Amino acid sequence: MGKVNENYLKLPGSYLFSRIGKKIRDYEAANPARSVIRLGIGDVTQPLAPAIIKAMHEAVDEMGRAETFRGYAPDLGYGFLREEIAKKDYQDRGCPIEADEIFVSDGAKSDCGNIQEIFSPDSRIAVCDPVYPVYVDSNAMAGRTGEYDEKAGIWSNVIYMPCMASNHFVPELPREKPDLIYLCNPNNPTGTTLNREQLRVWVDYANRSGAVILYDAAYEAYISTEDVPHSIFEIPGARTCAIEFRSFSKNAGFTGVRLGFTVIPKDLICDGVALHGLWARRHGTKFNGAPYVVQKAAMAVYSDEGRDQLAHQVSVYMRNAKVIYEGLAQAGYEVYGGVDAPYIWLKVPDGMTSWEFFDWLLEGPNVAGTPGSGFGPSGEGYFRLTAFGTYENTVEAMRRIKEQSGDRARRG
Ligand code: PLP
């Protein structure tokens, strides 16, 4: 008789976004005249840029001719793309990363979910709280996180590093010693960042203590502040303690196209073993290469034309972020993030939980967002809105929130 992986049974019930989706659908079914503006899920809305479409068309034509047809792609990515990434994302920024340290994949979610496989089952993980749920859930599936306390919303064997307004959303070095440290910069969900000096503290700590930093830079393209690093490899010493995840989802609108990459320096040794070799083995065994058409499309991301078009797309989202940030501030909310990330993190009114605020926002202004408690216990009392909607919807959402927040305040 087959037996299931019981770790899966310990995972908390329904996934955050399923619960949100159901609430929105139920509300819309009961109130067909109302239109809900969705500023909840972190998915892009602008179409692919012309330079990317052109590259994809050309690649499709190549696939249609016998002389240029390609079958399986190399497991670790085509050389042309790995070279381009190493040069443009790293070497041109002064980061010492070589093409053969880049592993091309189908996206950052797979990589940051799968990376835990190359570490010992008894590794202790540390995560920021609130946090992108994939880091904890993927370790829970592997049996690394202990028992889940439904009421407190925490796992017994995870080191949570609270990131709240009181510490300016900067995690403090943990008292207990982790083996793996997940950092996401710019951060999802808080939209806040670590600057060079703050990140240097973590790199130094990891090198001192022998921990490995798993650094998620999926929102790197949204950074505008000079002092915020685009890569952990801008920090001296990171080559011996860090793995970096990148995605084409948010800088180039590839959420439906799928492409990302992971950087593992050859100098990163854990337990006497080079992690580069282990990940190459894992990737080659379980992944059969990202599609040629998609890797050619990614080349256009680095062309002059593509860069300009994508910078414009990012600026469109960041204009929304500004509208949300300023709109909420004018409505009297405490607001964070939204400067170097497409996420705005707000403090919900006193006396309300994150889910109560979700319900109020859905049923009053008819705007959908994401309750902070869904990202971890320290997210309680906060709420996330995303800048990925259209400009018109974003402006309208803020108009409604401002109008009705005033009403709510007047009613007490
Ligand atoms: N990492 C973070 C922090 C994210 O927020 C997301 C998506 O929302 C991802 C990774 C997933 O990226 P991808 O679309 O490349 O799988």
Given a contact cutoff of 8 angstroms between Cβ atoms, the answer to whether 394 and 346 are in contact is no
- Does the C-beta of 114 come closer than 6 Å to ligand 1? no
- The C-alpha atoms of residue 273 and residue 118 are separated, in whole angstroms, by 11
| Distance from residue 330's CA to the centre of ligand 1 (Å) | 30
Q: Which of 373, 338, 354, 342 is nearest to 130 (CA)?
A: 373
What does each of the 412 residues of the chain score in pLDDT, given as a tens digit? Answer: 999 999 999 998 667 888 899 999 999 999 999 999 999 988 999 999 999 999 999 999 999 999 999 999 999 999 999 999 999 999 999 999 999 999 999 999 999 999 999 999 999 999 999 999 999 999 999 999 999 998 899 999 999 999 999 999 999 999 999 999 999 999 999 999 999 999 999 999 999 999 999 999 999 999 999 999 999 999 999 999 999 999 999 999 999 999 999 999 999 999 999 999 999 999 999 999 999 999 999 999 999 999 999 999 999 999 999 999 999 999 999 999 999 999 999 999 999 999 999 999 999 999 999 999 999 999 999 999 999 999 999 999 999 999 998 766 555 5
180-239 pLDDT tens trace: 999 999 999 999 999 999 999 999 999 999 999 999 999 999 999 999 999 999 999 999
| Distance from residue 109's CA to the centre of ligand 1 (Å) | 5
Q: Which two tokens stand for residue 181?
A: 């440290």
SS3 category, 16: helix
Given a contact cutoff of 8 angstroms between Cβ atoms, the answer to whether 116 and 141 are in contact is no
Given a contact cutoff of 8 angstroms between Cβ atoms, the answer to whether 386 and 343 are in contact is yes
- Does the C-beta of 216 come closer than 6 Å to ligand 1? yes
- The C-alpha atoms of residue 367 and residue 411 are separated, in whole angstroms, by 20
- The C-alpha atoms of residue 81 and residue 353 are separated, in whole angstroms, by 46
Q: Which of 196, 303, 316 is nearest to 250 (CA)?
A: 316
Q: pTM of the prediction? A: 0.97
Mutate to test the pocket of ligand 1, among 45, 132, 214 (most ligand atoms within 8 A of CB): 132
For atom 12 of ligand 1, the residue with the nearest CA is: 108
| Distance from residue 247's CA to the centre of ligand 1 (Å) | 7
- Residue 310: left if φ>0, alpha if ψ -120 to 50, beta else—which one? alpha
For atom 8 of ligand 1, the residue with the nearest CA is: 42
Given a contact cutoff of 8 angstroms between Cβ atoms, the answer to whether 265 and 239 are in contact is yes
- The C-alpha atoms of residue 176 and residue 195 are separated, in whole angstroms, by 24
